[in-house]
């Protein structure tokens, strides 16, 4: 057996996770299969790379010598594949849910300057079909689907979490309870609500959040077709609405909710269609863009900085110490 790029990736993943089970989960492999592949690699190399214990794995002396080479092999191989992939990729078709700010396209373009980036606003369920049919290359979608991403016989899709967004309260800017402190059920009982239309992707998220916040599903003056319409009712009619922070507009007051529900924002792509290195660039650019956008939302950026444990995926971009800008 020759040592190949895929073997280097496996060894690096195990070393990074310090656990075969954790590495298997990250690689989306059964743990027995990963253990078997590791044993074959070690037999080929003539010795164990890792010492196993109930606490995880640590490199052996042989592993200490070989790991830097495995890391170099994985990086060089991924860079080669990325270069080849990017060189042959003329256009990248990107879907995004609800609305697509021009700055999102600009951020993706900056990470792949030789590729023509085309964006499209889509519904989460439609995005999955578009990916499988090749009408999109990747999409940013909230994790709201009740069915599994992959089913037998379908073109496989892969996912990565961009960020976990809290579900907060949108109020008129001059509302008495609008402010930086979290609200609890005792403060929202008398609010007049605008809600999302049945069938809208956020409606299920909203129902779960309402169950904890007000203990019931409140009546509403109007059901909206999207975040921006909801925000117009908050601004112009004095209503309250639930939203993710990135769904709020600058002319409403966003208020934290105690023990808020969250909504995962996923990057989804057609498995094996985009190289690992290109995906890493895309994921980094989208996460950094999210933080730049969050920095423009009153109260939200300071909340993220004060509660980094709630935003693990983007923690490296959060400010440290007195700085308020996105960390480099």
**What tokens appear for 37 in the block?**
């592949």
Our measurement of the distance from residue 142's CA atom to the centroid of its chain's CA atoms, rounded to an integer in Å, reads 8
| Mean pLDDT for all residues in the chain | 87
Largest CA distance in the chain: 73
Looking at per-residue pLDDT, the higher value among 132 and 306 belongs to 306
Task: Name the band, by pLDDT with cuts 50, 70 and 90, for residue 212.
Answer: confident
Instruction: Please give the domain boundaries of the chain with CATH numbers for all domains.
Output: 5-86 (1.10.10.10), 90-164+263-317 (3.40.190.10), 168-260 (3.40.190.10)
Q: What is the pLDDT of residues 122-148, one digit of tens each?
A: 988 888 889 888 899 999 999 875 455
Residue 324 has pLDDT above 70, yes or no: no
pLDDT in tens, 149-163: 655 556 678 889 999
Q: Phi/psi at 279 (nearest 5 deg)?
A: -65, -40
Beta bridge partners of 20: none
pLDDT tens by residue, 218-258: 889 999 999 999 999 999 999 999 999 999 999 999 999 98
Which pLDDT tens digit goes with each residue over 85-126? 555 568 889 999 988 889 999 999 999 898 899 999 998 888
**Phi and psi (nearest 5°) for 199?**
95, -15
pLDDT at 146: 47
Six token digits for residue 286 = 């989208």
C-alpha distances (whole Å) from 64 to each of 4, 59, 77, 309 are 19, 6, 21, 32
pLDDT of residue 313: 93
End-to-end alpha-carbon separation of the chain, Å? 42
């Amino acid at each position: 057996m020759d040592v190949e790029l895929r073997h280097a990736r496996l060894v690096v993943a195990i070393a990074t996770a310090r656990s075969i089970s954790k590495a298997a989960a990250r690689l989306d492999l059964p743990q027995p299969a990963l253990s078997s592949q590791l044993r074959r690699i070690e037999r080929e190399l003539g010795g164990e790379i890792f010492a196993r214990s109930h606490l995880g794995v640590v490199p052996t002396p042989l592993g200490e010598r070989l790991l830097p080479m495995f890391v170099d092999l994985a990086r060089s191989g991924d860079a080669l594949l990325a270069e080849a992939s990017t060189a042959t990729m003329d256009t990248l078709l990107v879907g995004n849910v609800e609305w697509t700010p021009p700055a999102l396209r600009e951020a993706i373009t900056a990470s792949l300057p030789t590729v023509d980036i085309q964006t499209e606003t889509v519904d989460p369920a439609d995005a999955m079909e578009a990916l499988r049919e090749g009408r999109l290359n990747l999409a940013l979608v909230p994790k709201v689907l009740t069915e599994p991403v992959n089913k037998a016989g379908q073109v496989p899709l892969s996912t990565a979490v961009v960020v976990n967004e809290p579900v907060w309260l949108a109020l008129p800017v001059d509302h008495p309870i609008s402010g930086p402190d979290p609200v609890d059920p005792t403060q929202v009982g008398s609010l007049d609500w605008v809600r999302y239309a049945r069938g809208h992707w956020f409606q299920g998220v909203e129902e779960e959040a309402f169950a904890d916040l007000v203990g019931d599903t409140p009546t509403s003056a109007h059901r909206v077709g999207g975040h921006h319409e909801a925000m117009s009712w908050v601004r112009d009619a004095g209503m309250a609405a639930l939203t993710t922070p990135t769904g709020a507009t600058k002319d409403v007051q966003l208020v934290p909710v105690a023990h808020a529900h969250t909504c995962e924002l996923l990057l989804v792509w057609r498995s094996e269609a985009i190289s690992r290195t290109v995906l890493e660039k895309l994921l980094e650019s989208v996460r950094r863009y999210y933080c730049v956008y969050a920095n423009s939302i009153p109260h939200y950026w300071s909340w993220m900085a004060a509660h980094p444990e709630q935003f693990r995926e983007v923690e490296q971009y959060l400010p440290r110490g007195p700085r308020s800008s996105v960390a480099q």
